Amino acid sequence: MPDLFEVKGAAKVRCFGQKSALDGLTQPAGTLIGRITDDEVIFVGQPGTAAALVEDLQGQLASEGNAALVIDHTDGWSFFSLVGEGCEEVFAREANWKLPVSDGAPVFTVGRVCHVAGKLFVRPNRIDIMTGAEVHLHVREALNHAGHKVNMHEIEAPAVDPIGVGTEGVTVS
């Protein structure tokens, strides 16, 4: 049975810049990475790591001057995780598109979920869904509704490593 939890305060940092500059970024340990477009990439880190993540990425892009931009977007998106066997079934009730297949590593994708724009990380038996914070209540209700017929339960996020990338990485500020 799948579980649903929200990772409150998960760090979300958006980087803008030339493709070559973004291609050259080193993914900080303990983060998820998603390439939105050639000129935008996002990193998601454990709660409380946004400032450190911004600092790290600004450092990496410092040589780009005003041709690059690093923005802390932590408050702008909610981060929900569907975890466990059957999580795809919950997703299938709230999205009409086909999830990419993960061989174990997180696969980043975008598409509408619960009728709103979403950014997703897909792993075996885990789907992380980021949607706008302004529709947080709606998405939470929709996911719970979708899950109740497959015995999904909403639980508290794990205290340790809620985004599921390991505990090694960016220092918690």
Instruction: Please give the residue ranges that form the binding site for other proteins (CB under 8 A).
Output: 9, 14, 16, 39-40, 66-67, 69, 71-77, 89, 92-93, 95-98, 114-116, 132-138, 141-142, 145-146, 149
Shortest separation between residue 72's beta carbon and other proteins, angstroms: 8
Closer Cβ to other proteins, 89 or 154, answer by number: 89
Amino acid letter at 149? Answer: K
Shortest separation between residue 135's beta carbon and other proteins, angstroms: 6
Query: Which contacts (CB < 8 Å, 24+ apart) does range 152-157 have?
Result: 152/1, 152/2, 152/3, 152/4, 152/82, 152/86, 152/90, 153/1, 153/3, 153/4, 154/3, 154/4, 154/5, 155/3, 155/4, 155/5, 156/5, 157/5, 157/6, 157/7, 157/8, 157/81
Burial degree of 90 (CB within 10 A; 0-12, 13-18, 19+): buried
Closer Cβ to other proteins, 75 or 156, answer by number: 75
Shortest separation between residue 89's beta carbon and other proteins, angstroms: 8
Closer Cβ to other proteins, 35 or 73, answer by number: 73
Shortest separation between residue 124's beta carbon and other proteins, angstroms: 17
Tokens 């998820």, residue? 32
Closer Cβ to other proteins, 55 or 72, answer by number: 72
Closer Cβ to other proteins, 1 or 137, answer by number: 137
Shortest separation between residue 83's beta carbon and other proteins, angstroms: 20
